Structure 1
Amino acid sequence: MDIIQEIKRLEEEIKKTPYNKATEHHIGRLKAKLARLKEELEKQRQKKSKAPAFSLRKEGDASVFLVGFPSVGKSTLLNALTNAKSEVGDYDFTTLKPVPGMLEYKGAKIQIVDVPGLIEGASKGKGRGREVLSFIRNADLIVIVVDVFTLHNIDIIKRELYEAGIRLNQKPPEVVIKKRERGGIKITSTVPLSLDESTIVEVLKENRIHNAEVIIREDLTLDRLIDAIMGNRVYIPSITVVNKIDLYQPELPEDVIPISAERGINLDRLKEEIYRKLDFIRIYLKPPGGKPDFDEPLIMRRGCTVADVCKKLHRGMLESFRYAKVWGKSVKYQGQRVGLDHVLEDEDILTIYA
């Protein structure tokens, strides 16, 4: 039995097996093996693939990717949000390569990218799906775009992204796995766990981890445990929009934004949500001995460090960095001296000494 047949067999067995406490151990082992085989298959395919990977130079303060099936209006939306000139057509696969544009909003420069259309089965390679999905992993924010006539595609797109290791609106599992040369598997948890320890051990061993110290800080599901072990997942915030509401207005969940890219309906709401989801903070730069520049703050993402600011300002600044001083909410006292790993907060004032 080859690897593809084995993957199909495991998927069928998982579907047929009811999940309960008695079957948790068995399903855990099956899912762990399935994840490992899928990763091995993907590595084999990457070696054999001759198709050139999509590439794009990231610009601005963040990159937002428009993801959806062909002919749902992604190109029209890109043109409406930015200064781009993406080709618009009423036929499938108008966009054959990533097309960028720049949205300037509240002082932030946000790169919006029209991504080539996905189709069902993209994660298995249909329609250059692997190349497209690999490219999407670079996004800072994903905007899923469907139209009023294809609402069912929302679940399909999310499933294709999930199969490609893209986790939407999730944080990475709070799990630390420290591999050791001997001593078996030692599990320490700071919260009560729903999973049996024997199941966790079996899943680790299925992924060839036989000696490790495992620290768990959340009540894991099987899937979250496997994600933590695999270590190749990306965690990206997302927004879902439904286009062409000028043609038909279906009932939609509250977290979905109805728009008309062609008529400009609700685009201001979408821009605001993009800005909010990107979780920007403003850093005011102060030259040594000078005054802070409150007119043009540096736009950064929440959780950024002094090192991230140095990289954004100039590549050579990291090499010549001596120390920095910070005034604001991130320090214990104003003008505190900090290093590269100091995490900044919104409206901090920063002076870099290089």
Structure 2
Amino acid sequence: MQAITEFYPQLSRSHKVVVTMHQKPDGDAMGAALGLYHFLIQLGQEVTVISPTNWADFLKWMPGCDKVIDFEAHREKAARIISTAEVIYCADFNALHRTKNLQHALRNSKAVKVLIDHHELPEAHEFSYGISNPYKSSTCEMVYDFIVEAGYTANINLDIAACLYTGVMTDTGSFRFPSTTASVHKMVAHFKELGLNHTVIHEHIYDNFLENRLRFIGNALLNKLDVLYEYNTAMMAIPKSDLIKFDIKTGDTEGLVNYLLSIEGIKLGALLIDRDEERRWSFRSKGNFDVNAFARLHFEGGGHKNAAGGRSSDTLENNVKHFKAVLKQYEEQLNN
């Protein structure tokens, strides 16, 4: 993988472009992809944004989201577009398997693949150009840097600002995580100078759910919360029956794991959800406990030091037993 700076001269040439992201895209993934879309169309590129799967309803307000193609819903159309693409931007993922069923089309494509991502251990051989910086707050911040450093600051408009603000806001926990550096606030200041209304974006993301989600969260906190004080750990295991009972859709469990870290003394929060084809883990931590390493070692996952995910094909019950068993290895670290 060559440095992304080597790709800058190609921005002035017309290309057929695809922008994609990881499955079940969150605010950062969708924000980065749409931010790139609004930037590249100004350069005369022919741009299509393709998501590997569907996405949360609270993201559908974003400028350009109505043009995004859901690969699982429109496989033939999306595959045809990918097969003729000359450049594919890969935002907020660094391994092709993170795109689920889309990975085969990406791997077989002859297009130049450009990586912009902030997760650890990228599969660099899969990409032609790119940048991978786990110290950045979000992929959206990296897209901002990409535009500015390539010499196109003047092209940043309110559509780009709204998309990128969404990603950096969500990935920094509304600017409270340690990744919120001075450069993040400088970027946001630039967006505000352009006239960005950040209050509306917060309302779209955090105040746009149905009643059933609030009842689901209440049920989870009341009946599924397991606090393991001997390990300074809290966990919740959500069965498929609860998802059906409360009619939970994509995005409705977003942020649920963060409630666990609000308990005094808790250093590790773990959320397990029983999905159709597999069980999905979300891990959050405080301080020096590295959930990225924890998820990679025990749950086929990864991510960031204080925020990571994992997966398992085993049952919900066996996952809970396994989690509690491996916690014993970390008792000293979690109590230090």
Normalising by structure 1, we get a TM-score of 0.28
> Greater helix percent: which structure?
2
TM-score by length of 2: 0.29
Larger-gyration structure (1/2): 1
Task: Give the structure with the larger strand fraction.
Answer: 1
